[in-house]
Amino acid sequence: MNKDNEKVRILILDDEPIVCKRLKPAFQKAGYDVETLNDSASAMARIEEAHFDVVITDLKMEGVDGMRFLTRIKEISPDTGVIVITGFATLDTAKESFRKGAFDFLAKPFKLSEILDAVKRVEAGRRQADSASDQPQDDTNGSA
Amino acid sequence: MAGYLRSLFSRRGGCKQEQESPTSLRSLFHKFRRILELNNAIMEKMAELESALGGEYIFDNAFLSRAVRDMSGLVHQVAYSLNAMTDDRYVELYDRYEYIKGVLDDILSGGLGPQASRLAMGFPELHWENLPLAGMPNVCLAELLRTPHIGAVDGFVVTVTACRLMQEKGMTPKLEQAILRETDALWQRLGRPEGLAVSACPAGGSEPASGLPAQESNREHIVRDVLEACRKGVALGWRDMAVGVRERVPSEYWGRLRTCCPESRTLGAMSLAMSGPAGEEHYNLRRAHPFPPAESDIRPKDEAVRLPDGVKPLTPVGGGLLRGSGLLPADSQRLIAEAGIVLERALGAPQELHLCLDREGVPRILDAAVAEIVEEAADADDLAAVLDQAKVLLRGGNSAQAGAAAGKVVHIKEGDDPEEFPLGAVAVARAASPQLAPFLLKAGALVTELGSTIGHLATVAREYRIPAVFGAAGALKTLKPGAEVTVDASVPVVYAGSLDILLSQSRAGSELYATDPEFTTLRRLLQFIMPLKLTDSGSESFAPQNCRSFHDIIHFAHERAVEELLDAHEGGGACIEPHRLEMRIPLNIGLVDAGGGLAEDAGPVVTRDDILSEPMHRFLGGLRYAWDNRENLQVSMRDIFSGMQRTAAVLQAPAEQGMNLAILATGYFNLSLHMGYHYSVVDAFMQDNPHQNYIYFRFAGGFADAERKNRRAELIRRVLATLQFNVEMTGDLVTGRLKIVDRETMADALEQLGILTAFTRQLDISMGREDSLGRMEQAFREVAAQYEAAKELP
């Protein structure tokens, strides 16, 4: 991500069209490459064929629910930052999301600035991880 | 009003019965506190819904359903708690609750709302929330009619309900009667129109749609022609439709404005085309006020031809200038562009307007609807490149209404004339005062240095969908008058110059648009949640059956709960012995502690130091200062107080000898104060969460003649307005509401209300001349300033 100045790729999955309709231009304006989907089956297929740096997903949907979707993304792409958005936020669902590897959990309604901030934190975390991995792993290879 | 005074005066008698058991007293206080808590929780939810309308939050239909369900549950508990306090004296409140909840549920399920039974409605009655009942073109024209200087045609709509009836039963007598009644009303509004135009449009769904071409009609044949228009809609397979009946404007010149023109070479330009006997013309107008043409296609014309305004080409128009040969003078182009921008901003989608020029050459908007143009968001890379290069003048603040607009900066303040504000300009002000609301009818965007995004001005900004940023520090200094700027309220940020690509992008951006079903639903829901119409608890109309919104219900319940607690003092129910407040001010104040308002060891007589309720403490601080320092104040102030003392005996009303009662609790107080023949009520809740904070102030009565009383009322109005209250005046009754502000603002406002209360004590005696109003206002400001200075002393 960002290594070759490529845009950060985001997939947004929410069965309420208004959420995708509003998030897409907001992330595009902020310089991200965004795809949106309204059904979880299509999203499930999409993550099998393409890599996304960030996935934003609703929890409660027809078909494959967000929790299963989250599990699958982390299996396919452990480094993808997953942000869970839900209108039915409980402490239990938040805990379970984090246990399954979610990066952040936002209850609807949320501010646009909050989700933009969450994505920036995913980016920052990834940059930090990348620079750590670029460092010499072993003192013997490092400079004095 | 008289009833309220009587009811308050009747309380002054002292306890007639033995004190009831502590259990029932505790129960009464418990229920009162419960109402307070519920009201505050409801106010917080209302604030959340209002913010959602401004585009600050991402939400979905599930959120709306849940918010309404939660709020309904709380409002029901308010009605229950009040009835539990009053032996079921207000059971009608349940009926109103059920009615309003039913309306909200109907809106959530996509119903037509409480006006669904209306068969015909005049344009002056139509608002955005009537979209499903009246259809897009009719509501657009109705909204344009309310916009100053834009010449939209008047008319009425035969509603979706009526059209359903026509499809089922044809023209019924009831329907015919409704159409004729609205036709007569239209005739009265227009005087002598030259005819009517009838057009059906699809409605009832969420999708915008334009109507069929209008057919000429007249008063005699209107019923027949409405039926015919409905049949045409049926033939097109429309399931639901409305029929608009509008004024027909005879014209030789017809035109079309598209607020979005993808084929234009000028980015983001509007396209305006006109044609008539003198030829055809086309203009691409820029999107920033005053909407100058970026490109024009004006053909040369014969010098003898008469242009639409009756003038020949190249006629001298003064100042050594000639008329030119364009069909539309710049003013007309601007008016048409304004109409398009007003609708585009309200609906968040490109507009197509059909218009004509009347016999005087004045543009008249005949039809409006969302344009069927697929507009992609500006290329993200292009946008990013432009924003990278753009000069940021100001960053920060809170978005009260998302969106972007460009225009020239104009600094405004209370007292400025909104008429002189240039349409489309960017208004910049120190504070988000409710008194600035009239400017929003004309502003392209609003930026303030101070203010709450959920206060009254923010509500108005959302109503008109004016991009608005509140709390942008340094705005007045940074944004110089006359500078061209672009405000992106969604971020929020203000750029130098007019950034066309950002304006273009904002029309396909992340904002919540009026064409989004969630927006329409939310706006319609709020009409039955937010408005507070039941404000005068002394009037006969202050009754459960007149509650029109959830806000009315909780306000009614709160007022009656306060009265119930105060009435307990009289001995009708649980007898309360108030603590007597000892102060140097000659006001007999009794304190009733509903929990946490007084120190635990407070005795029958208490001082201000025993008061733990912070809002009451603050209020008394201001009151005591103004009283203690009455001799040390400026000359003007000494005059006032000496005048008061001379007339004190005259003004002493019988009621003055009774007790003024206050109910206190943690972070709350309600004080009914009687001074001479006038009285005031202060009701305030104050804590750390700004969404729950409010002050409600009411002032009325007086001994002096109507003229003096009105001057005093005007003085109070001006002071409250300066304190950011939303103020209403009915005769000499002044009501002011301040809500959703931080703790510090609450504290300042309460101290100033204390000063104002001491200041206005029998003030009408000193206000014998018109010029005394300004003198008194100045005197008040001096006292308030001295108090602030005194606070800062060690």
Listed residue (B676, B644, B638) closest to B783, CA to CA: B638
CB A65 within 8 Å of CB A15: no
Domain assignment of residue A4, yes or no: no
Considering only CB atoms, which chain B residues are within 8 Å of A18? 59-61, 512, 516-518
Domain assignment of residue A97, yes or no: yes
Question: Among A22, A28, A88, whose Cβ lies nearest the Cβ of B58?
Answer: A22
Considering only CB atoms, which chain B residues are within 8 Å of A111? 56-58
Residue A34: give its domain's CATH number. 3.40.50.2300
SS3 B347: helix
Flag if A25 and B509 touch (Cβ within 8 Å).
Answer: yes
Domain assignment of residue A21, yes or no: yes
Asked if residue B3 has pLDDT above 60, the reply is no
Distance in Å, alpha carbon of B517 to nearest chain A alpha carbon: 9
Q: What is the pLDDT of residue A64?
A: 77
Listed residue (A51, A22, A16) closest to A115, CA to CA: A22
Flag if A23 and B510 touch (Cβ within 8 Å).
Answer: yes
CB B314 within 8 Å of CB B288: no
Q: What is the pLDDT of residue B648?
A: 41
A100/B contact by beta carbon, under 8 A: no
Considering only CB atoms, which chain B residues are within 8 Å of A83? none
Q: Which residue of chain B has the CA closest to A7?
A: B381
Tell me the per-residue pLDDT of A18-76, one tens digit each, with 9 for 90 and over. Answer: 899 889 888 887 889 999 999 888 999 999 999 999 999 998 877 778 899 999 999 99
Strand B196-202 relative to strand B404-411: parallel, antiparallel, unpaired? unpaired
Percent of chain B at pLDDT above 90? 36
Q: What is the largest CA-CA distance in chain B?
A: 100
Tell me the per-residue pLDDT of B174-204, one tens digit each, with 9 for 90 and over. Answer: 999 999 999 999 999 998 888 999 999 988 6
A2, amino acid identity = N
Question: Among B48, B60, B509, whose Cβ lies nearest the Cβ of A87?
Answer: B60
Which helix (H) or strand (E) element contains residue B489? Answer: none
Three-class secondary structure assignment of B36-94: HHHHHHHHHHHHHHHHHHCCCEECCHHHHHHHHHHHHHHHHHHHHHHHHHCCCCCCHHH
Which helix (H) or strand (E) element contains residue B225? Answer: helix B222-235
Residue B665 main-chain phi, psi, to 5 deg? -155, 175
Residue of B60, B70, B454 to mutate for A, most A C-beta atoms under 10 A: B60
Listed residue (B524, B492, B140) closest to B342, CA to CA: B140
Which helix (H) or strand (E) element contains residue B353? Answer: strand B351-357
Q: What is the pLDDT of residue B631?
A: 57
User: HSE on the CB side for B299, CA within 13 Å?
Assistant: 14
User: HSE on the CB side for B637, CA within 13 Å?
Assistant: 23
Considering only CB atoms, which chain A residues are within 8 Å of B52? 109
Q: Mean pLDDT in chain A?
A: 85
Question: Among A29, A88, A112, whose Cβ lies nearest the Cβ of B58?
Answer: A112
CB B144 within 8 Å of CB B126: no
Question: Among B59, B384, B508, whose Cβ lies nearest the Cβ of A109?
Answer: B59
Q: What is the pLDDT of residue A77?
A: 93
Flag if A111 and B57 touch (Cβ within 8 Å).
Answer: yes
Return the top range by mean pLDDT from B174-178, B329-333, B562-566, B647-651.
B174-178
Considering only CB atoms, which chain B residues are within 8 Å of A66? none
A120/B contact by beta carbon, under 8 A: no
* Distance between CA atoms of residues B226 and B228, nearest Å: 5
Q: What is the pLDDT of residue B446?
A: 95
Residue B647 main-chain phi, psi, to 5 deg? -100, 5
Flag if B518 and A18 touch (Cβ within 8 Å).
Answer: yes
Picking from B215-224, B292-301, B495-504, B567-576, which range would have the lowest pLDDT averaged per residue? B567-576
Distance in Å, alpha carbon of B259 to nearest chain A alpha carbon: 20
Q: What is the pLDDT of residue B627?
A: 80
Stretch B122-127: mean pLDDT? 94
Stretch B482-508: mean pLDDT? 83
Listed residue (A15, A112, A111, A42) closest to B62, CA to CA: A15
Stretch B660-670: mean pLDDT? 90
Domain assignment of residue A64, yes or no: yes
Flag if B490 and A112 touch (Cβ within 8 Å).
Answer: yes
Listed residue (B28, B18, B35, B64) closest to B556, CA to CA: B35
Stretch B85-89: mean pLDDT? 92
Residue B726, beta-bridge partner list: B737
Stretch B551-571: mean pLDDT? 84
Domain assignment of residue A92, yes or no: yes
Comparison of pLDDT for A136 and B399, the residue scoring more: B399
Comparison of pLDDT for B305 and B5, the residue scoring more: B305
* Distance between CA atoms of residues B111 and B644, nearest Å: 60
Q: What is the largest CA-CA distance in chain A?
A: 58
pLDDT band per the 50, 70, 90 thresholds, residue B9: very low
* Distance between CA atoms of residues B43 and B34, nearest Å: 14
Asked if residue B79 has pLDDT above 90, the reply is yes
Comparison of pLDDT for A6 and B251, the residue scoring more: B251
Distance in Å, alpha carbon of A29 to nearest chain B alpha carbon: 6
Q: Which residues contact residue B172 at a Cβ distance below 8 angstroms, ignoring those fewer than 6 apart?
A: B165
A99/B contact by beta carbon, under 8 A: no
* Distance between CA atoms of residues B709 and B651, nearest Å: 14
Going by the DSSP 8-state scheme, the letter that residue B466 receives in this structure is: -
Considering only CB atoms, which chain A residues are within 8 Å of B384? 31
- What tokens does B225 get? 């022609």
Q: What angle do CA B307, B313, B318 make, to 5 degrees?
A: 110
Cα distances (angstroms) measured from residue B361 to each of B117, B152, B257, B308, B357 = 40, 14, 17, 5, 5
Flag if B60 and A18 touch (Cβ within 8 Å).
Answer: yes
Considering only CB atoms, which chain A residues are within 8 Å of B60? 14, 16, 18-19, 87, 108
SS3 B738: strand
Handedness of CA B139, B141, B142, B144 (dihedral sign): positive
Radius of gyration of chain B (CA): 30
Flag if A112 and B59 touch (Cβ within 8 Å).
Answer: no
- What tokens does A105 get? 């959990």
The CB density around residue B696, as the number of other CB atoms within 10 Å, is 21
Stretch B708-724: mean pLDDT? 82
A79/B contact by beta carbon, under 8 A: no
* Distance between CA atoms of residues B552 and B542, nearest Å: 10
CB B208 within 8 Å of CB B101: no
Flag if A22 and B510 touch (Cβ within 8 Å).
Answer: yes
Q: What is the pLDDT of residue B360?
A: 86
Flag if B63 and A28 touch (Cβ within 8 Å).
Answer: no
Residues 54..83 of B with a Cβ closer than 8 Å to A: which?
A: 56-63, 66
Q: Mean pLDDT in chain B?
A: 82
Q: What is the pLDDT of residue B325?
A: 82
Listed residue (A68, A69, A73, A109) closest to A88, CA to CA: A109
Q: What is the pLDDT of residue B392?
A: 94
Q: What is the pLDDT of residue B484?
A: 92
Radius of gyration of chain A (CA): 16
Q: What is the pLDDT of residue B300?
A: 81
Question: Among B58, B490, B510, whose Cβ lies nearest the Cβ of A108?
Answer: B58
Flag if A25 and B62 touch (Cβ within 8 Å).
Answer: no
Residue of A15, A22, A108 to mutate for B, most B C-beta atoms under 10 A: A22
Return the top range by mean pLDDT from A87-91, B379-383, B555-559.
B555-559
Stretch B563-568: mean pLDDT? 79
Considering only CB atoms, which chain A residues are within 8 Å of B62? 16, 87-88, 108
Stretch B374-385: mean pLDDT? 64
Q: What is the pLDDT of residue B262?
A: 63
Residue A85 main-chain phi, psi, to 5 deg? -120, 135
Domain count, chain A: 1
- Alpha carbon distance, N-terminus to C-terminus of chain A: 30
- Cα torsion through B486, B487, B493, B495, rounded to 10: 10
Stretch B526-543: mean pLDDT? 86
CB B754 within 8 Å of CB B627: no
* Distance between CA atoms of residues B774 and B784, nearest Å: 15
B23, amino acid identity = T
Stretch B557-578: mean pLDDT? 73
pLDDT band per the 50, 70, 90 thresholds, residue B391: very high
Q: What is the pLDDT of residue B162?
A: 96
- What tokens does B591 get? 């304190």
Cα distances (angstroms) measured from residue A68 to each of A83, A91, B406 = 14, 18, 46
Considering only CB atoms, which chain B residues are within 8 Å of A112? 56-58, 490, 510
Question: Among B59, B383, B510, whose Cβ lies nearest the Cβ of A26?
Answer: B510
Asked if residue B699 has pLDDT above 90, the reply is no
Flag if A19 and B377 touch (Cβ within 8 Å).
Answer: no
Considering only CB atoms, which chain B residues are within 8 Å of A31? 380, 384
Flag if B56 and A16 touch (Cβ within 8 Å).
Answer: no
Flag if B510 and A31 touch (Cβ within 8 Å).
Answer: no
Burial class for B409, CB neighbours closer than 10 Å (0-12, 13-18, 19+): buried
B635-651 and B772-792 helices cross at what angle (nearest 10)? Answer: 110
CB B230 within 8 Å of CB B213: no
Residue B387 main-chain phi, psi, to 5 deg? -65, -30
Asked if residue A102 has pLDDT above 90, the reply is yes
Residues 16..45 of A with a Cβ closer than 8 Å to B: which?
A: 16, 18-19, 21-26, 28-29, 31
Domain assignment of residue A130, yes or no: no
Domain assignment of residue A111, yes or no: yes
Question: Among B56, B60, B377, whose Cβ lies nearest the Cβ of A16?
Answer: B60
- What tokens does B788 get? 């602030």
CB B505 within 8 Å of CB B403: no
Name the residue range of residue A42's domain.
Answer: 9-124
* Residue position matching structure tokens 């018109």: B770
Going by the DSSP 8-state scheme, the letter that residue B434 receives in this structure is: G
Flag if A18 and B57 touch (Cβ within 8 Å).
Answer: no
Question: Among A29, A31, A109, whose Cβ lies nearest the Cβ of B58?
Answer: A109
A115/B contact by beta carbon, under 8 A: yes
Q: Which residue of chain A has the CA closest to B61?
A: A16
Considering only CB atoms, which chain B residues are within 8 Å of A28? 377, 380
Picking from B236-245, B394-403, B772-781, which range would have the lowest pLDDT averaged per residue? B772-781
Q: What is the pLDDT of residue B349?
A: 73
pLDDT band per the 50, 70, 90 thresholds, residue B307: confident
Cα distances (angstroms) measured from residue B66 to each of A87, B49, B129 = 9, 11, 21
Flag if A29 and B505 touch (Cβ within 8 Å).
Answer: yes
pLDDT band per the 50, 70, 90 thresholds, residue B267: low
pTM: 0.77
Stretch A75-96: mean pLDDT? 90
Q: What is the pLDDT of residue B333?
A: 92
Domain assignment of residue A120, yes or no: yes
User: HSE on the CB side for B377, CA within 13 Å?
Assistant: 23
Distance in Å, alpha carbon of A136 to nearest chain B alpha carbon: 35
Listed residue (B531, B486, B81, B122) closest to B288, CA to CA: B486
Residue of A18, A21, A83, A110 to mutate for B, most B C-beta atoms under 10 A: A18
